[in-house]
Structure 1
Amino acid sequence: MSRVARRQRPAIALLVLLSWACVMASAHAVEAQPSDAGKGIAKPVGAAELLARMAEAVRSLNYEGTLVYLHENRLEAMDLQHQISNGEVHERLISLSGPVRAVVRAQERVMCVMPDGHPISVEQNGQSRFLETEGIDPDALVDHYQVRMLGEARIAGRDTDVVGIVPRDALRYGYRFHIDRETALPLKSDLIDQDQQPLEQLMFTSVEIGPPDGALPDVKGQPIRSAPATSADGEWRFREVPLGFELVMHDEMKQPDGSIIEHYMFTDRLSAYSVYIDQDTENGLEGVASIGAVHAAGRSLDGYQLIAVGEVPMQTVQQAVAGARRMAETEVEAGSR
C-alpha cells in the first residue's frame, strides 16, 4: 500500500493514484504464435510453474533495458533499470519520449518526478515493482479467470513462452505474459479484457539480464493478492461487493492537518481496487474518471467523500462505491459487543 507523503486532498490524490497506477501497470504483451513442434525444444511443465518462475525472476534478477508502452493509441519509450545490491532493490524508470518523467525506487521510498518537474515522495511496503508479478496463485484464480498456455513468441531477440490469465467476466482485467525461456523474466505482457483484447501493452525492445550483486532482498510483508480476507470495522460497510472481490485491508491515513482518510482495499487475487473515504468533500469526485485502464468513481454520502479507484473496469468501481454505507452510531456499538 502506497501513501503520498505530502498533503494531498482527494482530487489531487486521485490524479496521483491514477498516474501512478498507469506508470506502474504490470508488463503487457503481443499475440502469441502457435508452438512449432518440429523445433524439438523442451517445454516448461505448465502455466503455474512458469508464473512461479516469473515472480522469482522479477524479484531476484538484475535487468536493464528499453521498453515501449502502448496505451490509448499512444506509444511511449522508457528506460528501466532494476538492480539488487547487498540485499537492497534499486529501480529507475525514465521516460524517453514526451514530457520528462522519472520514477526512482530505493529501499522503502519512491520518488516520482511529474511532467511539470514537481517531485512527489511516496512510501511503500517493499512489494511494488515496475514489473508487478508478486503473489499470483493460479489455484486461487480458477473461479474468475482461465489460466493457460498460449504458445510462444520472440521478444527483444529472445524466445518466450506465453501464459494467459483470461477473465471470465467483465468485472476484471487479465494478463498475457511473454516469459523469457532462459531466465523467466517477463519481456512483454498485455493487460487484457475478457475477449483477450489488449488494453495496455508494455514490451522490452532490448534487455540485458544478469544475476544479483550479493544477497537477495528480504521478502517483507504479504502480497495483497494472497492476503487473508477480513471484515470491515468502524462506521463503514460495503454491500454488493463486485463478484469475486474480498476486503483484505483497512487502514487510516493521517493527513498533516490531523484529518483521517480511511482506506479499504479489495482484491479478487489478481486485480484490486481501493475505496478512500474522507470528510473533506470540497474537491471531491462526483461521477467517474479514468486514465487508461485505471478507473475511478466517486460520490458524497453523509458529509463524506467516497472514491473507488483501481485498474479494473468502470462498472467495478461504480458498483464498489455505490455499495458503501455509513452505519449509525447505535449499529456500530451493537456490532462491537
Structure 2
Amino acid sequence: MRFLLFYLLFISSTFASEGQNLTGSQWLRNVSDAMKTLSYHGTVVFMKNGQIDTMKYQHSVEKGIETERLISLNTPLREITRNSGEISCLYKETSQKVESDHPVDRSFIVNLPLHAEQISEQYLLAVAGQEMIAMRPAQIIAILPKDNLRYARKLWVDTATSLPLKVEVYGLDGNVLEQVLFTELAIDDNGTSSQAQQNVLSQHLHEFKVETFGNSAYQLESLPAGFEKIFFIRTSMQQSNKQVDHLLISDGFSNISIYFEAKGNNKGIEGQRSLGPVNSYSRVMGDVQITVMGEVPMETIQLVANKVDVR
C-alpha cells in the first residue's frame, strides 16, 4: 500500500514528452555523465531541518578532474571545495579549515549510483512529467524504494544538458525531508570557468587517512540489501588527539555512516535520535562508543547498528 501511495504521489499526469523515450536508468546515466564532463555555475538553495542555506555553486572539469565549489551567502560564511576526492571546508571568520580525502567522488548536489542498472532490486525508476526549474525545462525522475529501508526521491533533470536542477527526499509518510534547488544555472566552456584561489591563511583542524576496514578492530556481520562499503577513514582530531574511525556504506542514493571511538571514562551514549531526515542510533560495546547515522529510516539505522561488532 505504501508503495502504491508513493507511486501516485510521484507520477505526474503529464506523460506526453520527449523524455518518455528514455528509461529512468538512461536518464540517470546521462545525469552522471553530464555532472562529470560539463562546467557550470549558478545559485543553489539547500532546505533541510527547517533551515534554508543559499550558496553560490561552481563545477568545472579540467583534464578529466572535477572541481566543485560552494560559497555560502549567509552566516556562517564558508567555502566548501571538492577537488576530485579531496574535500575542504574553509570557515571565513576564523580561517579554520577542515580537510578530508574520499576514495570515491560524490557530488555536493546529489548522490547517484555508480551503475544505475544495479539498483533495480531496491528501486523503481519512473519517468514522469516535465516542469520548469530555474526557467529551464526539466524532466522528472521518480526514484521509488521497493522496501521500507530507504527513502523515496524525485530528481528534476535539465532536458538540454542532463544536469540535475532539483532534488527532493521524502519520508515514509510522504512529507518532504530535504530539498536541493537551483534558482539559476549557466553552462561554461570547459576550462574557462574562473576559480578563485584560497589565499586566506588556514588552520587545519582535522586530518583524515583512508584505511582498510578489514584490518580494523571492528566488523559488520551483514549489510542491508543493496548497501555496500564505500570507504573506511581513521580520523585524528588535532585539538584533542582523539581518534574516531568512520565507515561509510551506501546503496547509491542513501549513505549511512558508522563511527567508532573510545568511550574512555565517559558513561557513553545509548539510544536513538532524529533531526529532520537524519536518524542516528548509539550503543556502547565494551570500551567502544558506536554511532550509526544517515538519511534513511530508523529501522535501517537500527538494523545496521545491531550488526556491528568488535573483534
Q: Is the 8 A contact 2:230 2:250 kept in 1?
A: no
Q: Name the structure 2 match of 1:318.
A: 302
CA distance in 2, matches of 1:314, 1:84: 38
Q: Is the 8 A contact 1:67 1:203 kept in 2?
A: yes
Residue 298 of structure 1, aligned match among 255, 258, 282: 282
Q: Which letter maps to 1:158?
A: R
The reply to whether residue 265 of structure 1 matches residue 248 of structure 2 is yes
Matches within 5 A, 1:27-42: 33-35=12-14, 37=16, 41=18
Q: Name the structure 2 match of 1:4.
A: none
The reply to whether residue 135 of structure 1 matches residue 118 of structure 2 is no
Q: Is the 8 A contact 2:112 2:252 kept in 1?
A: no
Q: Name the structure 2 match of 1:104.
A: 81
Cα offset for 1:32?
A: 7.2
Q: Name the structure 2 match of 1:277.
A: 260
Cα gap change, 1:282 to 1:183, in 2 (>3 Å): farther
Q: Name the structure 2 match of 1:176.
A: 154
Q: Is the 8 A contact 1:232 1:250 kept in 2?
A: no
Q: Name the structure 1 match of 2:234.
A: 253
Matches within 5 A, 1:147-158: 147-158=125-136
Cα offset for 1:296?
A: 2.2
Cα offset for 1:72?
A: 2.7
CA distance in 2, matches of 1:195, 1:143: 22
Cα offset for 1:33?
A: 4.7
Cα gap change, 1:183 to 1:249, in 2 (>3 Å): closer
CA distance in 1, matches of 2:111, 2:34: 10
SS of corresponding position for 1:244: coil
Cα gap change, 1:109 to 1:282, in 2 (>3 Å): farther
Residue 58 of structure 1, aligned match among 11, 35, 41: 35
CA distance in 1, matches of 2:185, 2:147: 35
Q: Name the structure 1 match of 2:225.
A: 244
Q: For this pair of structures, how many residues does the alignment match?
A: 280
Cα gap change, 1:113 to 1:290, in 2 (>3 Å): farther
**1:62-120 deviation line (CA, Å, top 9, x unaligned):** 11111122223332211101112343322211222343232122354322134864321
Cα offset for 1:234?
A: 5.8
Cα gap change, 1:168 to 1:114, in 2 (>3 Å): farther
Cα gap change, 1:85 to 1:231, in 2 (>3 Å): closer
Cα offset for 1:137?
A: 3.6
Q: Which letter maps to 1:159?
A: P
The reply to whether residue 185 of structure 1 matches residue 152 of structure 2 is no
**1:26-76 deviation line (CA, Å, top 9, x unaligned):** xxxx97753263xx7564422111110001111111111111222233322
Q: Name the structure 1 match of 2:186.
A: 208
Q: Name the structure 1 match of 2:272.
A: 288
Cα gap change, 1:152 to 1:88, in 2 (>3 Å): same
Mean CA deviation greater in 199-208 or 109-118: 109-118
Which sections of structure 2, spanning at least 5 residues, go unmatched? 1-8, 193-211
Q: Which letter maps to 2:291?
A: I
Structure number with the higher strand fraction is 2
CA distance in 1, matches of 2:213, 2:76: 43
Cα offset for 1:276?
A: 2.3
RMSD: 3.2
**1:166-211 deviation line (CA, Å, top 9, x unaligned):** 1233321232110011100010110123454321111111110134
Q: Which letter maps to 2:38?
A: L
Mean CA deviation greater in 105-114 or 202-211: 105-114
Q: Is the 8 A contact 1:286 1:298 kept in 2?
A: yes
**1:214-242 deviation line (CA, Å, top 9, x unaligned):** 9xxxxxxxxxxxxxxx9966654445x56
TM-score norm. by structure 1 comes to 0.71
Q: Name the structure 2 match of 1:49.
A: 26
The reply to whether residue 84 of structure 1 matches residue 82 of structure 2 is no
Cα offset for 1:272?
A: 2.6
Q: Is the 8 A contact 1:236 1:324 kept in 2?
A: yes
Q: Name the structure 2 match of 1:11.
A: none
